[in-house]
Amino acid sequence: MSITVYFAVIIVAVLLVTGVYAGILSRKQRKEYERLARTETFHCLRCDSVYTGPAGTETKECPACGYKNPKLKF
């Protein structure tokens, strides 16, 4: 086998590993996004902090000061 064949095999292997790595990262990002999409966002009127809670929750206590706040509507 010549050096060009070895070079082609190395290039194909690098591209294959890069593709698998990109697929794994894409799955990880999609899982993180789906987890975040199932939450509600709240803004505390008393201490000005922003926090999240489970989906379907209309009001939630602020973890910093305990004030009960309604969810943000976008």
Report pLDDT digits (tens) over 14-67.
Answer: 999 999 999 999 999 999 998 888 889 999 999 999 999 988 889 999 999 999
pLDDT reported for residue 56 = 86
**Mean pLDDT estimate for the chain:** 92
Summary count for the chain: helices (H), strands (E): 1, 4
pLDDT reported for residue 35 = 83
Q: Residues 3, 27: one domain?
A: yes
Tally of domains within the chain: 2
Q: Residues 50, 25: one domain?
A: no
Residue 43 CA: distances (Å) to CA of 3, 38, 57: 63, 17, 13
Q: Residues 43, 65: one domain?
A: yes
Res 1 pLDDT > 80: no
Distance of CA 58 to the CA centre of its chain: 23
pTM: 0.57
Q: Residues 44, 69: one domain?
A: yes
Domain holding 12, by residue range, is 1-37
Query: Could you give the CA distance from residue 35 to residue 50 in angstroms, rounded to a whole number?
Result: 17
Q: Residues 48, 69: one domain?
A: yes
Q: Which residues pair with 59 in a beta bridge?
A: 70
Q: Residues 48, 33: one domain?
A: no
Which residue from 34, 39, 33, 31 is spatially nearest to 56, judged by alpha carbons?
Answer: 39
